[in-house]
Amino acid sequence: MLKPNCGLENTRASLVMRRILPLCDNLSCHPRTVKSDRSTIAFLRDHGLFIRFSSPTPEQVLLTIKRSFFVDHCSLVEDPDTIPSYEKAGIEADAMEDSAFALPSTFADESGLDRRGDELTNLLARFEEVHRKLRTHAEGQPQDRALSSIVFSHTQVVDELRTAVARSRIEPFDRMAPSLRTLIADYSRRFGVLADLDIVDGHMALDRSVLASMEEIIKRVLRFCLRDGIEQPEHRVAAGKPARALLRLRLESDGSEVVCRIEHDGKPFDSRGIARQAVKRGLLTRPLETYTEEEMGALLLLPGFVAAAEGPVSSLFSQFNEIGSLLQHVGGRGEVRNTDHGTLEIALHFPVPFTIMEAALVRTGAMRFALPAQQIGRFEAYRPERIERGEKAAQEGPPGSRPPARPSFYTGEDGKRTELLNGPDSGSPLEAENPVFALFLEALGEQRCLAVDAVDGYENISVSQLPPLLDHGPLPKAGCFGYALLKDGAPCAVVSIRHLLNAILKKEGSHARA
């Protein structure tokens, strides 16, 4: 039996199956369509999920089920005839023997994919072991140039095989878009609200295991937003808002992380309530007044922030606590904040080993780099006469320290004035020599402009983390968060404007304008 009224009973039942699958020789469930059929939710609430399995370690299977935090309890069924039947209109009777316990095809497909992935991973491990032995042998014979050449070629093959294995596990995020929109429609009716879902950059491709973790947590957050964050239509109209709310889900690649930002224009979160709870629990390490609203929002998603739900406010905190626990379980983190434009944003950070994205290949000076396409709003021909110098910033900081750089602004064809990230005398590591294009970008919720010397086209790239030796060098200061090997085999830095802007703000100090 699952914990009552979680609203995602069918998804959680499928996760129970997934967790115990590696421990079982044979596994089946009733209802058998729990993952793909949301109409099983009512049955699961009333009767629970029935599982039949054989395993050399049955005790471990039962313990794994009981330890799942969304499982209320489980017990053995003495008489199979007491199991309630599950019927759904429009589904033909299955002529297979014991069809009530037939394994869902989704499980079988995913299990097969996982097995093939494991086989490739094991093959790669063996290949890497042979490569280590070959390299060790070559190091003992430094004069053998032919052997050194073979080792170099072998290294390239290993890298290509490693990338191919990682790509075999990649799937697009937007494969879950239909189920997310169905969830929005279902919970909107249930909670009496009007809401739509807008998914930005859903074509980002990620590892299957990462997607499975993301799907469960995102659905949990969307349910919370609809139940406790979006007002009733009449209340929204009275407050001057549209009767129908919009939830925007935006994905961003951030090197070793993928950030999922879920934003809506419903109720803001109360940082003062969080502060009171933090003081009560003794979680603050410095005076309360020194904490920003963003820092308080990060506390809200810390597992264990609240112990139990004792009232409406504590119940609200408890839901964030469960979301934080789910994130921690997959090695992630999160924060909540009220944005400058009156919306609430929940940011979920998921660790990823490997991502694939569409990027523009651009040049500034001697530097060629890839810029995520999702950060680019539009291109324009660069016009020097459209640059305007801002006012010189006042001297701040210790006497003798360098004042903040004088900002530059670029006026686009639409007449809007946008700050230029790499304008004259900006000191930017991305300063252009002979700019040809002006790129208008989205960064930290605001518009920015970047002048570039050339655009070499678009390419789907596989982004990997920077090696440790480069992770603390000049590249991160230029907004670089990873690297990619292009189709021509050349390495290329991948730059995030968000990272670049964060580096600039950190360098200039807290007085800098966001």
pLDDT tens track for 129-141: 787 888 888 888 8
Apex CA 428: angle with CA 423 and CA 433, to 5°? 60
pLDDT at res. 475 = 64
* Closest to 246 in 3D by CA, of 213, 279, 222, 277: 222
pLDDT at res. 317 = 67
- pTM, two decimals, is 0.54
pLDDT tens track for 110-129: 545 556 666 666 677 777 77
Q: Which residue has the higher pLDDT, 141 or 204?
A: 141
pLDDT tens track for 347-405: 998 887 666 777 889 998 888 888 888 788 888 999 999 998 866 544 444 555 555 55
Q: Is the pLDDT of residue 98 over 60?
A: no
**234/241 Cα distance (integer angstroms):** 10
**What whole-number percentage of the chain has pLDDT above 70?**
76
Mean of per-residue pLDDT scores for the chain: 77
Going by pLDDT thresholds of 50, 70 and 90, the confidence category of residue 461 is: confident
Nearest 5°: phi and psi at 452? Answer: -130, 150
Going by pLDDT thresholds of 50, 70 and 90, the confidence category of residue 514 is: very low
Q: Is the pLDDT of residue 282 over 90?
A: no
pLDDT at res. 7 = 63
Tell me the mean pLDDT in the region 222-250: 92
Tell me whether strands 491-495 and 376-381 are parallel, antiparallel or unpaired. Answer: unpaired
Tell me the mean pLDDT in the region 316-327: 77
Contact 134/148 with Cβ under 8 angstroms? Answer: no
Residues 6 or more apart whose Cβ sits within 8 Å of residue 489: none
Q: Is the pLDDT of residue 476 over 90?
A: no
Q: Is the pLDDT of residue 243 over 90?
A: yes
Q: How far apart are the first and last CA of the chain?
A: 49
Structure tokens at 114: 């996982």
Going by pLDDT thresholds of 50, 70 and 90, the confidence category of residue 109 is: very low
How many other C-beta atoms lie within 10 A of the C-beta of residue 89? Answer: 5
pLDDT at res. 383 = 92
pLDDT tens track for 40-73: 888 888 888 999 988 888 888 888 888 777 788 8
pLDDT at res. 196 = 92
Lowest-pLDDT choice from 24-38, 237-251, 489-503: 489-503
Tell me the mean pLDDT in the region 148-154: 82
pLDDT at res. 451 = 92
25-37 burial code (b ≥16 CB/10 A, e <16): eebbbbbbbbbeb
Tell me the mean pLDDT in the region 224-249: 92
pLDDT at res. 437 = 93
Apex CA 275: angle with CA 272 and CA 278, to 5°? 155
C-alpha 302, offset from chain centre: 17
Instruction: Quote the DSSP letter at residue 166.
Output: H
Going by pLDDT thresholds of 50, 70 and 90, the confidence category of residue 306 is: low
Going by pLDDT thresholds of 50, 70 and 90, the confidence category of residue 269 is: confident
